[in-house]
Chain A
Amino acid sequence: DVKVTQSSRYLVKRTGEKVFLECVQDMDHENMFWYRQDPGLGLRLIYFSYDVKMKEKGDIPEGYSVSREKKERFSLILESASTNQTSMYLCASSFVDSYEQYFGPGTRLTVT
C-alpha cells in the first residue's frame, strides 16, 4: 500500500511564526505536491517538485516556500504565518507521468 504521511493532523500557530509542514512518502515517487483546500475553492496547488532539489511554483505560491532534500520528503514552509493561511494542507505524490496521485491525510492549520 502506498503511504503518504504528514507530520501533524492539526496545528495551531500564531501570526508571524515560521511554520514547517512535513510530508513523507514510501513509494519512491518522483513527483510530490502541496495543495491547500478551502471551502468553495477546492484544492489549489501551492508548489510541486519532480525531483530532489527541484521545485516549481503552483497557482498560489505567495507566502510559501518548499524544500526537497531527499526523494521521500517534501516540506512546506510558511515563512511568516498569517491568518489567511488558515486552511487544510494536503500533500500528494505520484510516479513521473502517472495519472494517479496519492494524498496524505492532511494538516488542518489554524493561524491566530
Chain B
Amino acid sequence: GQNIDQPTEMTATEGAIVQINCTYQTSGFNGLFWYQQHAGEAPTFLSYNVLDGLEEKGRFSSFLSRSKGYSYLLLKELQMKDSASYLCAVRDKDTGRRALTFGSGTRLQVQP
C-alpha cells in the first residue's frame, strides 16, 4: 500500500519562497508527481521526479530523495496567483498500476 503525508495548509508572502514537503511510503516506487489545483478547477501537472535530485522549471522546483521517502516543491518569487492547493502523488511500480495515489493536498495562501 501507499501512504502520503503533506501539510494541510501553508501561508506565505508575495515575493517570498515557500517549500511544501511531502513524505511517502510505498512498496514499489515509480515516480513522484506534483500537481497544482486552483479552487474549483482541475489539477494541472507541475513536475515529475523519478531519480534523486532537484528538477527546476522556472519559478518551481521539485526535489526527491528516494532513500528518505521525501520530496518537496519549492516555489520562488511567489505571486498571488500561486494561491492554490498543491497535490503530491506517487506511482507504484510493484502493482503495475498506471494510476497515481494522491496525498490530501496542501492549501497555499499567498498574502500581499
Interface residues, chain A, with chain B CB atoms under 8 Å away: 4, 31, 33, 35, 40-45, 48, 50, 56, 58-59, 90, 94, 96-97, 99-106
CB of B19 to closest CB in A, whole Å: 20
**Contact among A42, A90, A96 for B104, CB-based, below 8 A:** A42
Q: Give the docked Cα–Cα distance between A106 and B39 (Å).
A: 12
Contact status A100-B42, CB under 8 Å: no
CB of A84 to closest CB in B, whole Å: 18
For A45, what are the chain B residues with a Cβ–Cβ distance below 8 Å?
99-101
Tier of interface size on chain B: 20 to 34
Contact status A99-B99, CB under 8 Å: no
Which B residues between 72 and 111 are near A, CB-CB below 8 angstroms?
87, 89, 91, 97-105
**Contact among A42, A97, A99 for B33, CB-based, below 8 A:** A99
Q: Give the docked Cα–Cα distance between A106 and B41 (Å).
A: 7
For B48, what are the chain A residues with a Cβ–Cβ distance below 8 Å?
99-100
Contact status B41-A105, CB under 8 Å: yes
Decide: A48 near B87, CB < 8 A? Known: A100-B48, A104-B42: no
Which B residues between 30 and 83 are near A, CB-CB below 8 angstroms?
31, 33, 41-45, 48, 50
Contact status A42-B42, CB under 8 Å: no
